[in-house]
């Protein structure tokens, strides 16, 4: 959708001969087959355009087996948008009814509202956190938080209450449409984009604070392009807001954290939206010791394994990508790994639980802020 026909053709012609970014594609390295690397995908798409190959389940399996995390673009001297090339291929595959069964099932569940997860308003009221309908600030939790991050939702609410900022959450919060966009259901993405924008507008909020990095990227850069009208409404990731509050003194640090700690930059936040300073401002304020940076960090950080909705189609590979990221974290000597996104948190935690020796504690940055502010133990 976002590559013109000319850009698409040009990208395919560039990628089909080029091995330059293969080194940054962890799934390609794990699968060890050229067809799963950017150059292989370029060659396949070229052959499809020339009528030398047919769209079939094998092509579909290859196009859905990538973390599509945008890192390869950082290696590309031509700045080709290979990620959008893959998404364009997935949209064609989905329309032809050839998408992998796991992707189709996931899409159907989202449309049917199945697996909606926790209710943010119930989580907050159970934890004694006050919300106010029609408040100017709206907390958008996202599917990643609602699936398993009740603590992060509650901690965020506690911090809002502590600072004295009124906020609301959407009743029966809908999905922003990000997973549909990644899995090739563009009609569904349009429908969800319009719904979420209408719901946010009807809430009366002027600022949306987003917990999940992918939801943030969606609302900031894609919802409008899919027909959702968020004009005039400010969208901000929770880490930026917390950094502002700490910097301005609105949120006081009463207890510094002494654990040796490293930080995982979510791709959507650090790479696509170029927000990697706020987490570091927070950490420099709440840590007693210096942050231990991983070898790949900020814009060039490796993915946690959740990129491109890989856990839906290839959870085995998503786990392997996550384990590589955990290795990077351990190499810093840190005992705690903090993330700035519930989806990364969940993916890394799942991978960690598959290992016999954990040796690493994974947490959300919001929890660390709540501890540093004396709101939780």
Using CB under 6 A, list all residues that contact ligand SF4: 14-15, 18, 20-21, 38-39, 42, 72, 75-76, 78, 80, 82
Query: Of the candidates 216, 245, 119, which has an alpha carbon nearest to the alpha carbon of residue 172?
Result: 119
Strands 167-168 and 137-140: parallel
CB 367 within 8 A of CB 376: yes
CB 68 → ligand SF4: shortest distance, Å?
12
Q: Which residues of 294-323 are buried (b: 16+ CB within 10 A; e: fewer)?
A: bebbbeebbbbbbbbbbbbbbeebbbbbbe
Q: Closer CB to ligand SF4, residue 76 or residue 137? A: 76
SS3 content of the chain, % helix, strand, coil (to 5): 55, 5, 35
Which helix (H) or strand (E) segment holds residue 26: the answer is helix 26-31
Q: Closer CB to ligand SF4, residue 38 or residue 346? A: 38
Distance between CA atoms of 202 and 216, rounded to whole angstroms? Answer: 19
CB 301 → ligand SF4: shortest distance, Å?
18
CB 246 → ligand SF4: shortest distance, Å?
38
CB 16 → ligand SF4: shortest distance, Å?
8
Q: Which residues of 81-97 are buried (b: 16+ CB within 10 A; e: fewer)?
A: bbbbbbbbbbbbbbeee
CB 76 → ligand SF4: shortest distance, Å?
3
Q: Is 24 exposed, middle or buried (CB count within 10 Å of its CB: 0-12, 13-18, 19+)?
A: buried
Q: Closer CB to ligand SF4, residue 82 or residue 158? A: 82
Cα dihedral sign, 218-320-276-153 = positive
Helices (H) then strands (E): counts for the chain? 19, 7
Q: Closer CB to ligand SF4, residue 76 or residue 129? A: 76
Q: Closer CB to ligand SF4, residue 16 or residue 162? A: 16
Q: Closer CB to ligand SF4, residue 106 or residue 272? A: 272
Distance between CA atoms of 124 and 116, rounded to whole angstroms? Answer: 16
CB 18 → ligand SF4: shortest distance, Å?
3
Q: Closer CB to ligand SF4, residue 45 or residue 186? A: 45
Tokens at residue 210, please? 């987003």
CB 72 → ligand SF4: shortest distance, Å?
5
Q: Closer CB to ligand SF4, residue 44 or residue 242? A: 44
CB 196 → ligand SF4: shortest distance, Å?
31
Distance between CA atoms of 372 and 194, rounded to whole angstroms? Answer: 38
CB 360 → ligand SF4: shortest distance, Å?
32
What's the half-sphere exposure (Cβ side, CA atoms, 13 Å) at 142? Answer: 26
Q: Closer CB to ligand SF4, residue 80 or residue 181? A: 80
């Amino acid at each position: 959708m976002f590559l013109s026909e000319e850009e698409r053709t040009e990208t395919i012609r560039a990628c089909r001969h080029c091995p330059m970014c293969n080194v940054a594609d962890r799934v390609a390295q794990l699968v060890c087959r050229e067809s799963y690397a950017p150059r292989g995908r370029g060659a396949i798409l070229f052959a499809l355009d020339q009528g030398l190959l047919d769209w079939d389940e094998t092509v579909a399996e290859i196009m859905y087996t990538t973390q599509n995390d945008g890192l390869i673009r950082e290696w590309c001297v031509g700045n080709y948008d290979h990620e959008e090339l893959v998404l364009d291929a997935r949209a064609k595959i989905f329309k032809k009814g050839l998408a992998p069964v796991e992707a189709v099932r996931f899409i159907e569940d989202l449309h049917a509202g199945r697996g909606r997860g926790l209710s943010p308003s119930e989580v907050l009221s159970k934890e004694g956190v006050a919300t106010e309908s029609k408040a100017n600030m709206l907390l958008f939790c996202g599917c990643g938080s609602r699936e398993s991050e009740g603590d992060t939702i509650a901690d965020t609410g506690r911090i809002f209450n502590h600072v004295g900022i009124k906020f609301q959450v959407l009743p029966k919060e809908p999905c922003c449409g990000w997973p549909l966009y990644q899995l090739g259901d563009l009609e569904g993405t349009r429908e969800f984009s319009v719904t979420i924008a209408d719901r946010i507008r009807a809430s009366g909020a002027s600022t949306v604070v987003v917990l999940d990095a992918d939801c943030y990227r969606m609302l900031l850069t894609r919802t409008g392009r899919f027909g959702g009208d968020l004009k005039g409404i400010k969208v901000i990731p929770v880490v930026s807001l917390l950094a502002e509050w700490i910097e301005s003194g609105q949120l006081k640090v009463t207890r510094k954290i002494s654990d040796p700690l490293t930080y995982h930059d979510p791709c959507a936040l650090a790479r696509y939206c170029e927000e990697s300073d706020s987490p570091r401002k927070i950490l420099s304020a709440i840590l007693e010791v210096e942050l231990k940076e991983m070898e790949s960090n900020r814009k060039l950080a490796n993915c946690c394994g959740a990129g491109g909705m890989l856990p839906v189609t290839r959870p085995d590979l998503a786990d392997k990508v996550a384990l590589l990221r955990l290795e990077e974290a351990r190499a810093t000597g840190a005992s705690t790994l903090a993330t700035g996104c519930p989806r990364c948190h969940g993916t890394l935690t799942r991978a960690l639980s598959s290992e016999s020796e954990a040796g690493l504690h994974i947490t959300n940055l919001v929890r660390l802020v709540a501890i540093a502010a004396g709101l939780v133990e």
